[in-house]
A and B are shown apart, each in its own frame.
Chain A
Amino acid sequence: MDKKTVTTISYLSRLKIDDEKEQKIINDLSNIIEFVDQLNDVDTSEIDPLANPLEKTAKTRKDIVTAKNLKKKLLEVAPSANEDYFLVPRVVE
Chain B
Amino acid sequence: MTIKYKSIKEIKNMISHKEISNKEVIQEVFSLINQFQELNAFITLNEENSIKKAEELDNNPSDLPLAGIPIAQKDLFCTEGLRTTCGSNILNNFIPPYSATVIENLENAGCISVGKTNMDEFAMGSSNETSFFGNVINPWGKDLVPGGSSGGAASAVAAGLVPAATGTDTGGSIRQPASLCGITGIKPTYGRVSRWGMIAFASSLDQAGPMARTAEDCAFMLNEMCSHDEKDTTSLDNDIPDFEENLNSSLKGKKIGIVKDLDLSSLNNDVVEIYQNSLKEFESMGAELVDISLPHLSLSVPTYYVVAPAECSSNLSRFDGVKFGMRSEDVKDLEELYVKTRSEGFGNEVKRRILIGSYVLSAGYYDAYYKKAQQVRRLIKNDFDNAFKKIDVIMTPTTRGPAFKIGSKGDDPIQMYLEDLFTISANLAGLPAMSLPNGNIENKPIGLQIIGNFLDESTILNFAHMFQNETNWHMYTPEGIKQ
4 smallest CB-CB distances across A and B, nearest first, come from A53-B430, A49-B374, A79-B327, A44-B375
- Provide a sorted-by-A list of 27 A–B residue pairs whose CB atoms are within 8 angstroms: A5-B359, A13-B313, A13-B342, A14-B339, A15-B351, A15-B354, A21-B348, A29-B352, A29-B355, A29-B356, A33-B356, A36-B302, A36-B306, A39-B369, A44-B376, A49-B371, A53-B204, A53-B429, A54-B191, A54-B236, A54-B430, A78-B323, A79-B322, A79-B323, A79-B327, A88-B322, A89-B336
> A74 to B325, alpha carbons, bound, how many Å?
12
Q: Contact between B334 and A39 (Cβ–Cβ < 8 Å)?
A: no
Closest chain-B Cβ to A1's Cβ sits at a distance in Å of 8
A46-76 CB mask vs B (1 if < 8 Å, else 0) is 0111111110001111000000001001100
Q: Contact between B359 and A88 (Cβ–Cβ < 8 Å)?
A: no
Which chain B residue has the least Cβ–Cβ distance from A80? Answer: B327
Quick check: is B340 within 8 A (CB to CB) of the other chain?
A: yes
B322-371 residues with Cβ-Cβ distance < 8 A to A are 322-327, 331-340, 342-343, 346, 348, 351-352, 354-356, 358-360, 362, 368-369, 371
Residues in A whose Cβ lies below 8 Å from that of B299: 38-39, 42
Closest chain-B Cβ to A34's Cβ sits at a distance in Å of 9
**Which of B233, B296, B378, B413 is in CB contact (< 8 Å) with A32?**
B413
> A39 to B373, alpha carbons, bound, how many Å?
7
Quick check: is B53 within 8 A (CB to CB) of the other chain?
A: no
Q: Contact between A9 and B355 (Cβ–Cβ < 8 Å)?
A: yes
CB < 8 Å A-B pair total: 157
Q: Contact between B379 and A42 (Cβ–Cβ < 8 Å)?
A: yes
Quick check: is B475 within 8 A (CB to CB) of the other chain?
A: no
> A85 to B306, alpha carbons, bound, how many Å?
38
Closest chain-A Cβ to B299's Cβ sits at a distance in Å of 6
Quick check: is B381 within 8 A (CB to CB) of the other chain?
A: yes
Quick check: is B230 within 8 A (CB to CB) of the other chain?
A: yes
Q: Contact between B381 and A53 (Cβ–Cβ < 8 Å)?
A: yes
B306-321 residues with Cβ-Cβ distance < 8 A to A are 306, 313, 320-321
Contact status of A14 and B320, CB under 8 A, knowing A42-B379, A53-B429: yes
Residues in A whose Cβ lies below 8 Å from that of B417: 35
Closest chain-A Cβ to B317's Cβ sits at a distance in Å of 8
Which chain B residue has the least Cβ–Cβ distance from A86? Answer: B323
**Which of B190, B333, B374, B414 is in CB contact (< 8 Å) with A89?**
B333
B241-260 residues with Cβ-Cβ distance < 8 A to A are none
Quick check: is B94 within 8 A (CB to CB) of the other chain?
A: yes
A contact residues vs B (CB 8 Å cutoff): 1, 5-6, 8-10, 12-17, 21, 24-25, 28-29, 31-33, 35-40, 42, 44, 47-54, 58-61, 70, 73-74, 77-80, 86, 88-91
B458-474 residues with Cβ-Cβ distance < 8 A to A are none
Quick check: is B303 within 8 A (CB to CB) of the other chain?
A: yes
Residues in B whose Cβ lies below 8 Å from that of A51: 204, 374
> A16 to B340, alpha carbons, bound, how many Å?
7
Quick check: is B82 within 8 A (CB to CB) of the other chain?
A: no
Quick check: is B142 within 8 A (CB to CB) of the other chain?
A: no
Closest chain-B Cβ to A84's Cβ sits at a distance in Å of 14
> A77 to B324, alpha carbons, bound, how many Å?
6
Residues in B whose Cβ lies below 8 Å from that of A12: 358, 362
Residues in B whose Cβ lies below 8 Å from that of A8: 362
Which chain A residue has the least Cβ–Cβ distance from B373? Answer: A39
Q: Which among B204, B334, B352, B375 has the highest number of chain A CB atoms within 10 Å? A: B375
Contact status of A16 and B372, CB under 8 A, knowing A32-B356, A79-B327: no
Which chain A residue has the least Cβ–Cβ distance from B190? Answer: A53
Closest chain-B Cβ to A74's Cβ sits at a distance in Å of 7
Known interface pairs A39-B373, A39-B376, A47-B378; 5 further A-B residue pairs with C-beta atoms within 8 A, sorted by A's residue number = A6-B355, A35-B414, A54-B236, A54-B430, A74-B97
Contact status of A52 and B333, CB under 8 A, knowing A15-B339, A16-B340, A36-B305: no
Closest chain-A Cβ to B295's Cβ sits at a distance in Å of 10
Closest chain-A Cβ to B298's Cβ sits at a distance in Å of 8
Residues in A whose Cβ lies below 8 Å from that of B411: 24
B51-63 CB mask vs A (1 if < 8 Å, else 0) is 0000000000000
Quick check: is B213 within 8 A (CB to CB) of the other chain?
A: no
Q: Contact between A50 and B296 (Cβ–Cβ < 8 Å)?
A: no
B6-55 residues with Cβ-Cβ distance < 8 A to A are none
Quick check: is B234 within 8 A (CB to CB) of the other chain?
A: yes
Q: Contact between A36 and B369 (Cβ–Cβ < 8 Å)?
A: yes
B427-460 CB mask vs A (1 if < 8 Å, else 0) is 0111000000000000000000000000000000
> A86 to B337, alpha carbons, bound, how many Å?
14
Residues in B whose Cβ lies below 8 Å from that of A37: 302
Closest chain-B Cβ to A2's Cβ sits at a distance in Å of 12
> A42 to B28, alpha carbons, bound, how many Å?
55
Residues in B whose Cβ lies below 8 Å from that of A59: 230, 233, 237
